[in-house]
Chain A
């Protein structure tokens, strides 16, 4: 029987949630015996090769490209898991939601203290920004939420193994307690 497939992506966040995934240490060897990784920054596969069982999303939605990637994940993944503060709520990047986008961009590229000869970057390769940073579940249906900033490696392990074995994930209190 073919191994279940996992895909991961990083949107508007800090990559910390992916780093935390790697913190499962040598269990990563167990994990790759259990699953195949499809599109993911971990193996640098850029495009989906086909349907995937579990998709893991890090980061919120702040650009047109984030929307596209997220919608593609929804299309290809049977189960979609949002991981970490930014994916769940928008997180730190969403602090910009209190300032209108135009003001934000002007402050960063034109009016800021350290700006010399400022210009707003506008290369066609740069995705356009959205008016605010959205949590993933406002853009597509999300099946599971793994909280944390980042979620601890053990929480990843517990959630992933459960989903891959077809069980409902149950996280003990220690794995979702942060203070």
Chain B
């Protein structure tokens, strides 16, 4: 390896305090400075940190934004999520391929540009979109492509360094369509923190408990209870972690919150820090939102100046708390809290065994509360305006509001902050739809809802959601979409447990067979059976929901499947002609058939 590379790596590692737990930051920085993380680079990292090479390789190979092969100087990640495909992504992809004369997954001969696909990058309200280096570009038309390529080659516009100064605002639209009272209404800086500081930590937790606030990531665990468990758990340190790794396809509300209301979020984290007795908070920001990093750092800095972060916050003796932002590197599974913690500790994002739960054994094996961006914003508002105020919004068991990311076949895609308990019909009217055939609530891991159920309500008592709402119009091929969703889970499975690793491949093959018209009614029963096995036997939330696109459509749109299955008889997936062809070629003769 070149000497200068080795010394660059040493410098980077020194910058992160020779701390093995900062391996993610180290790898990201090596990648951004040297272009990729070669085997030699991994060895240098391992040596300098004094850890086995396999630990570095284990971690680096897990993340899609940490390439181990040399890529082009510029990398275009075109988003190939379902909503993007619905809005002409294929034509944009063709335009890139034609203009650069290379297929996706390869690099131009002059090593200037690499073309790659990436799953949902949180821009479904403005498709088709791409990350160019780390800068998002949205609403791309095929005609825009030559200009984009020209700009890339010129260099300045899509330089990664640019992100440090401010948000490249022109590139991403906010599309905040409905501002509610909790998340997107104005707030005086420090109001929630001051309100917390005049209470004891236990009183803060009581206030949150009494507000009825439940986790906004989708699972709906009572926030006050989580904080209470965490506060009571014994440990040298306590941590509050904000999960801003929204990777669920069709979700982008956290992006809008981080853009429009970052102060509210940091208020919430600070309040949580006070309540839990945490000195440090960590914001895990998905790699796709790297362009927001500089902007968020600025906000943190100004909060430090205002005495809202750091030592003796709001002049209260001993109220010490600060926030560090950790960038992710493109792995859906890291939205699962225990994977996220592993990732924060500089490891591959494989889910942990639970129990023990993070509230007793989390980051650095200390008591840790992992909360969604929106949950922390709600918590801040509860402290500012009181639990009683919060409770009068929403329903009995689902208090407050919910930010929904609406995309797909609707007139006004974007973020809507609505009161929990809204009927799907009312939401559809708000966003402007024309008799859609289905609405995907909660993204692929959620529920595909048929028109007969549009009267159902979005809340924890009925249909809970992390916030993704995708509308599918009449003309969409729903089963093709189900296939795309299933492929997504298959790609993103971490591979640890068999039901998820093997199961997602099995159901995908079965679905393919049905879509090719070779399905039988028996396959539908088997599909349901295998799907339920994946759901009940997988180790973490990813696997537990990986079969949902198939299971919920089998339930709500069974006729679509039945139309493709011509018979009740068993049809083998086995294709003899294809299976024997290689053998025939090697032997140079036909098989000898045995007489019966």
Contact = CB atoms under 8 A, between A and B. Distances in A.
Interface of A: 47, 61, 63-65, 67-68, 72, 100-102, 105, 120, 122, 124-125, 127-132, 134, 138-141
A138 B574 contact: yes
Contact of A128 (B570, B578, B591, B594): B591
A85 to B, nearest CB: 13
Most chain-A CB neighbours within 10 Å: which of B579, B580, B582?
Answer: B579
Nearest to B522: A141
Contacts of B572: 138-141
Contacts of B587: 120, 122, 128
B170 interface: no
A129 B586 contact: yes
A101 B596 CA distance: 28
A101 B582 contact: yes
Contacts of B593: 68
Given A68-B593, A102-B582, A128-B591, 8 more contacts: A61-B574, A120-B586, A120-B587, A124-B592, A127-B591, A128-B583, A138-B573, A138-B574
A64 B583 contact: yes
B588 interface: yes
Given A68-B593, A72-B596, A101 B574 contact: no
Nearest to B590: A128
B583 A67 contact: no
A1 B580 CA distance: 44
Contacts of A132: 579
B153 interface: no
A132 B587 CA distance: 16
B578 A131 contact: yes
A101 B594 contact: no
Contacts of B576: 67
Contact of B579 (A105, A122, A131): A131
Interface residues of B, number: 22
A102 B572 CA distance: 25
A131 B582 contact: yes
Interface of B: 570, 572-574, 576, 578-589, 591-594, 596
Nearest to B520: A141
Contact of B594 (A68, A102, A138): A68
B580 A130 contact: yes
Contacts of B586: 101-102, 105, 120, 129
B173 to A, nearest CB: 46
A155 B576 CA distance: 33
B591 A64 contact: yes
Nearest to A106: B586
Nearest to A105: B586
Contacts of A65: 594
A89 to B, nearest CB: 9
Contacts of A122: 587-589
B521 to A, nearest CB: 13
Contacts of B582: 100-102, 129-131
Contacts of B591: 64, 127-128
Nearest to A125: B592
A29 to B, nearest CB: 33
A64 B586 CA distance: 14
A128 B580 contact: yes
24 contacts: A47-B596, A64-B591, A65-B594, A67-B576, A68-B593, A68-B594, A72-B596, A101-B583, A101-B586, A105-B586, A122-B587, A124-B592, A128-B584, A129-B582, A129-B586, A130-B579, A130-B580, A130-B582, A131-B579, A131-B581, A131-B582, A134-B579, A138-B574, A141-B570
A154 B592 CA distance: 39
Nearest to B509: A138
A105 B593 CA distance: 22
A134 B581 CA distance: 15
Most chain-B CB neighbours within 10 Å: which of A65, A124, A130, A139?
Answer: A130
Contacts of A125: 592
Q: Please provide the 6 A-B residue pairs with the shortest distance between their CB atoms, ordered closest to farther.
A: A128-B583, A141-B570, A130-B579, A64-B591, A139-B574, A129-B583
Nearest to B593: A68
A134 B573 CA distance: 10
Contacts of A67: 576, 579
A50 to B, nearest CB: 13
A33 to B, nearest CB: 31
A106 to B, nearest CB: 9
Nearest to B592: A124
Most chain-B CB neighbours within 10 Å: which of A61, A72, A120, A127?
Answer: A127
Contacts of A134: 574, 579
A127 B579 CA distance: 13
Contacts of A139: 572, 574
Contacts of B573: 138
A101 B586 CA distance: 9
A120 B591 CA distance: 16
Nearest to A132: B579
A141 B521 CA distance: 13
B594 A124 contact: no
A120 B592 CA distance: 17
A67 B577 CA distance: 12
B574 A131 contact: no
Nearest to B594: A68
Nearest to A134: B574
B243 to A, nearest CB: 35
B303 to A, nearest CB: 53
Given A138-B573, A139-B572, A139-B574, A130 B583 contact: yes
A138 B570 CA distance: 10
